[in-house]
């Protein structure tokens, strides 16, 4: 009697989640290390909060809230409380600050990094799980605190290896648009939120698409209809004039905005804050080409209350089929003076910036700007099963000397083992057979030198006779020889 075999699952990663090998992980680690050093140089304390938060503590601030699970990945605990994977590092900070406020130094300055999760539609460089690296100041309402956060972002991108011309960091203040809408008679909170979300799509939909979303609504290419803000033509014209008020200099943009917003009290407050930020940025050495004012920047998250910032990458990249790929935002942040108050009832000013580490790493990789590949270990070639203890002794000596090393543990022959070392981008391979063991020697293959010398070898016979990059040395000099090779390769 035969039975049907159970179906095999298809090997596949869920959409929006990625498998990352050593090169990608090394790029992310390099970015995290560089940016963390910048944060620490400004006196920010490292903090780590858990991956899960209670759903009511996270709040419902995501712009993609029409998706299942309200844009987050949630589950119900055995005590029937709903928990969700954090969608950013800011909401957990607000919970932590509210919970620990009495014991914290004030202002509380912290940085954090780690994965976050969003139940959103994936796209180029847009994942459902990704790394962020944040710095926030909680407890200061000074616009200079915003300026310091912006200066750290600029310095962080430079430390991560991003050329100044490869990105633009743009700044706005939500109070400006709020004041403009109030002056235009738009006071409904739902309408204001719809306006913010419409303006946030300007770079993707253009003025025509934003105009539709400010009015009755817009139907996209698939036929799906998005209801608009319905604010009327006069208010729509005012919003479009506002988002197009950007100029080449921060001072020029401030002058133009003063003419557009209509002198509302909230708008004037936003202008005053931007003026103080501009002055502080100048004193912090942040040039006009590094951080500029752009009224079209509003940020999608609902919890921002004042200044907002966003960094867009401009590197040219191509996809798997050779098509141009635009990665867009690689970081952003702003002021969120009401987030801690959700827990305490007391307004607590706060501001911060978040590096989109995963998207930045993906953009650098797609543009071929990540640098050298991750080097592999020194490989000890296993030619004789009876000599495995000797091979492991060699690997141990190298590791003790600070040199990564491994013994080949497959069953392939010499040629395949050398190919393995080459694919690992190993700096060297160590060969010990019976003859070497009896003579007290080892053979070392300098793989980098061998690759370079191979370019001048005309035929296989010359290659076999000359054996470029290969030396035989006394066993006692193995570690010293390997270290010289590794240091030359680094």
Both structure tokens of 235: 């208010």
> Do 182 and 287 fall into the same domain?
yes
Distance CA 86, CA 128 (A): 11
Q: What is the pLDDT of residues 143-164, one digit of tens each?
A: 999 999 999 999 999 999 888 8
What angle, rounded to 10 degrees, do the helices at 143-159 and 22-41 form? 140
- pTM comes to 0.83
Q: What is the pLDDT of residues 355-414, one digit of tens each?
A: 989 888 887 777 666 655 788 999 999 999 999 999 999 999 999 999 999 999 999 999
> Do 111 and 256 fall into the same domain?
yes
> Do 167 and 278 fall into the same domain?
yes
Exposed, middle or buried: residue 248 (CB in 10 Å: 0-12, 13-18, 19+)?
A: exposed
209 is a domain residue: no
Q: Model confidence at 68, in pLDDT bands (50, 70, 90)? A: very low
Torsion sign, CA atoms 24, 27, 28, 29:
positive
> Do 318 and 466 fall into the same domain?
no
Residue 173 pLDDT: 95
Nearest to 485 by CA among 421, 424, 406, 403: 403
Q: Of 366, 386, 406, which residue is a domain's last? A: 366
270 is a domain residue: yes
Higher-confidence residue of 189 and 84: namely: 84
Q: What is the pLDDT of residues 21-38, one digit of tens each?
A: 888 898 999 999 999 999
Residue 67 pLDDT: 43
235 is a domain residue: yes
Residue 3 pLDDT: 65
60 is a domain residue: yes
Residue 63 pLDDT: 55
> Do 413 and 451 fall into the same domain?
yes
> Do 173 and 305 fall into the same domain?
yes
> Do 292 and 243 fall into the same domain?
yes
Ranking 123-127, 208-212, 249-253, 289-293 by mean pLDDT, the lowest is 123-127
Half-sphere exposure of 402 (CA within 13 A, CB side): 5
The CATH number covering residue 458 comes to 3.40.50.800
Cβ–Cβ under 8 Å, residues 340 and 350: yes
Range of the domain at 400: 378-489
> Do 362 and 399 fall into the same domain?
no
272 is a domain residue: yes
Residue 321 pLDDT: 72
Higher-confidence residue of 303 and 66: namely: 303
194 is a domain residue: no
User: Assign residue 242 a region: left if phi > 0, alpha if psi is -120 to 50, beta otherwise?
Assistant: alpha
> Do 269 and 397 fall into the same domain?
no
Ranking 67-71, 129-133, 138-142, 422-426 by mean pLDDT, the lowest is 67-71
12 is a domain residue: no
Mean pLDDT for the stretch of residues 123-134:
86
Q: Of 321, 345, 366, which residue is a domain's last? A: 366
> Do 135 and 170 fall into the same domain?
yes
> Do 407 and 327 fall into the same domain?
no
Both structure tokens of 65: 């809230």
Q: Of 366, 395, 415, which residue is a domain's last? A: 366
Helices (H) and strands (E) in the chain, counts: 18, 20
The CATH number covering residue 355 comes to 3.30.930.10
Higher-confidence residue of 107 and 455: namely: 107
Distance CA 431, CA 443 (A): 5
Domain count, the chain: 2
pLDDT at 127 over 80: yes
Residue 460 pLDDT: 53
> Do 238 and 336 fall into the same domain?
yes
1 is a domain residue: no
Q: Model confidence at 488, in pLDDT bands (50, 70, 90)? A: confident
pLDDT at 426 over 90: yes
């Amino acid at each position: 009697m035969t039975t049907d075999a159970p179906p095999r699952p298809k090997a596949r990663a869920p959409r929006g989640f990625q498998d990352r090998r050593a090169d990608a992980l090394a790029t992310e680690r390099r970015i995290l290390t560089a940016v963390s050093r910048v944060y620490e140089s400004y006196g920010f304390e490292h903090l780590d909060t858990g991956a899960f938060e209670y759903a009511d503590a996270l709040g419902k601030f995501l712009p993609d809230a029409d998706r299942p699970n309200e844009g987050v990945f949630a589950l119900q605990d055995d005590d029937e409380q709903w928990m969700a994977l954090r969608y950013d590092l800011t909401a957990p900070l607000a919970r932590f600050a509210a919970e620990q406020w009495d014991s914290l130094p004030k202002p509380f300055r912290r940085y954090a990094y780690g994965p976050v999760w969003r139940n959103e539609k994936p796209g180029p460089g847009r994942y459902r799980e990704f790394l962020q690296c944040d710095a926030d100041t909680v407890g200061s309402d000074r616009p200079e605190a915003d300026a310091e956060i912006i200066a750290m972002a600029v310095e962080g991108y430079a430390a991560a290896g991003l050329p100044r011309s490869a990105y633009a960091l743009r700044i706005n203040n939500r109070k400006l648009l709020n004041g403009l809408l109030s002056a235009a008679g738009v006071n409904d909170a739902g309408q204001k939120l719809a306006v913010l979300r419409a303006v946030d799509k300007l770079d993707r939909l253009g003025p025509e698409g934003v105009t539709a979303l400010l009015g009755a609504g817009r139907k996209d290419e698939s036929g799906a209809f998005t209801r608009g803000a319905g604010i009327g033509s006069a208010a729509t014209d005012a919003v479009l004039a506002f988002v197009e008020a950007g100029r080449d200099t921060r001072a020029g943009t401030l002058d133009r905005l003063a003419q557009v917003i209509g002198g509302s009290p909230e708008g004037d407050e936003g202008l005053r804050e931007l003026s103080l930020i501009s002055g502080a940025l100048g004193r912090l050495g942040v040039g006009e080409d590094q951080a500029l004012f752009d009224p079209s920047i509003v940020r999608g998250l609902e919890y921002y209350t004042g200044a907002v910032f966003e960094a867009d990458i401009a590197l040219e990249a191509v996809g798997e089929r050779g098509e141009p790929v635009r990665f867009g935002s690689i970081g952003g942040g702003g002021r969120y003076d009401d987030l801690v108050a959700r827990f305490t009832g007391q307004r607590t000013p706060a501001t911060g910036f978040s590096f989109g580490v995963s998207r930045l790493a993906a953009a650098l990789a797609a543009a071929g700007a990540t640098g050298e590949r991750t080097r592999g270990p020194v490989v000890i070639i296993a030619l004789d099963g009876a000599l495995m203890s000797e091979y492991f002794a060699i690997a141990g000596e190298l590791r003790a000397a600070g040199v990564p090393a491994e013994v080949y543990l497959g069953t392939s022959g010499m040629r395949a083992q050398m190919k393995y070392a080459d694919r690992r981008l190993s700096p060297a391979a160590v060969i010990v057979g019976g003859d070497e063991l009896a003579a007290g020697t080892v053979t070392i293959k300098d793989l980098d030198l061998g690759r370079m010398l191979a370019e001048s070898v005309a035929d296989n016979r010359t290659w076999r006779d000359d054996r470029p990059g290969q030396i035989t040395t006394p066993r006692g000099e193995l570690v010293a020889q390997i270290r010289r090779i590794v240091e030359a390769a680094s």
